[in-house]
Amino acid sequence: MNSEKHNVRTKRVRDMNRVLKRLFPSAKIELNYGNNWELLVAVQLSAQCTDARVNMVTETLFKKYRSVRAYAEVPQQELERAIFSCGFYRNKAKNIRAAARMVLDRYEGKVPDRMEDLLLLPGVARKTANVVLSNAFNIHEGIAVDTHVRRFVIRFDLSDFTDPVRIERDLITLMPRRDWWGFNHRLVLYGRHFCPARKHVCITHPLTALYPQAVKKWPRAA
Q: Looking at the structure, do residues 47 and 132 belong to the same domain, yes or no?
A: yes
Cβ pair 168, 208 in contact under 8 A: no
Residue 179 lies in a domain: yes
Q: Looking at the structure, do residues 100 and 148 belong to the same domain, yes or no?
A: no
Q: Looking at the structure, do residues 159 and 87 belong to the same domain, yes or no?
A: no
Residue 222 lies in a domain: no
Q: Which of 11, 63, 110, 146 is catalytic?
A: 146
Cβ pair 178, 162 in contact under 8 A: no
Q: Provide the CATH number for the domain around residue 11.
A: 1.10.1670.10
CB-count burial class (<10 Å; 0-12, 13-18, 19+) for 169: middle
Using DSSP's 3-state secondary structure scheme, residue 46 falls into coil
Q: What is the pLDDT of residue 120?
A: 98
Q: Looking at the structure, do residues 46 and 113 belong to the same domain, yes or no?
A: yes
Q: Looking at the structure, do residues 90 and 153 belong to the same domain, yes or no?
A: no
What is the pTM (predicted TM-score) of this model? Answer: 0.89
Q: Which of 92, 127, 170, 179 is catalytic?
A: 127
What pLDDT tens digit does each residue of the chain (222 aa) get? 789 999 999 999 999 999 999 999 988 899 999 999 999 999 999 999 999 999 999 999 999 999 999 999 999 999 999 999 999 999 999 999 999 999 999 999 999 999 999 999 999 999 999 999 999 999 999 999 998 899 999 999 999 999 999 999 999 999 999 899 899 999 989 998 899 888 888 889 999 999 999 887 654 433
Cβ pair 24, 189 in contact under 8 A: yes
Written as one letter, the residue type at 214 is A
Q: Looking at the structure, do residues 115 and 174 belong to the same domain, yes or no?
A: no
Q: Looking at the structure, do residues 40 and 124 belong to the same domain, yes or no?
A: yes
Q: Looking at the structure, do residues 130 and 157 belong to the same domain, yes or no?
A: no
Q: Looking at the structure, do residues 122 and 52 belong to the same domain, yes or no?
A: yes
Q: Provide the CATH number for the domain around residue 42.
A: 1.10.340.30
Q: Looking at the structure, do residues 78 and 111 belong to the same domain, yes or no?
A: yes
Q: Of 84, 115, 137, at which residue does a domain stop? A: 137
Q: Of 137, 167, 193, at which residue does a domain stop? A: 137
Residue 221 lies in a domain: no
Residue 49 lies in a domain: yes
Using DSSP's 3-state secondary structure scheme, residue 167 falls into helix
Q: What is the pLDDT of residue 217?
A: 63
Q: Of 112, 137, 162, at which residue does a domain stop? A: 137
Provide the domain count of the chain: 2
Could you list the residue range(s) of the whole structural domain that residue 90 is in? 36-137
Q: Phi and psi for 163 in degrees, rounded to 5?
A: -75, 130
179 part of the active site: no
Beta strand ranges found along 72-212 (DSSP E): none
DSSP one-letter code for 219: P
What is the C-alpha separation between 98 and 4, in angstroms, rounded?
46
Q: Looking at the structure, do residues 47 and 123 belong to the same domain, yes or no?
A: yes
Residue 44 lies in a domain: yes
Q: What is the pLDDT of residue 219?
A: 47
117 part of the active site: no
Q: Looking at the structure, do residues 89 and 123 belong to the same domain, yes or no?
A: yes
Residue 85 lies in a domain: yes
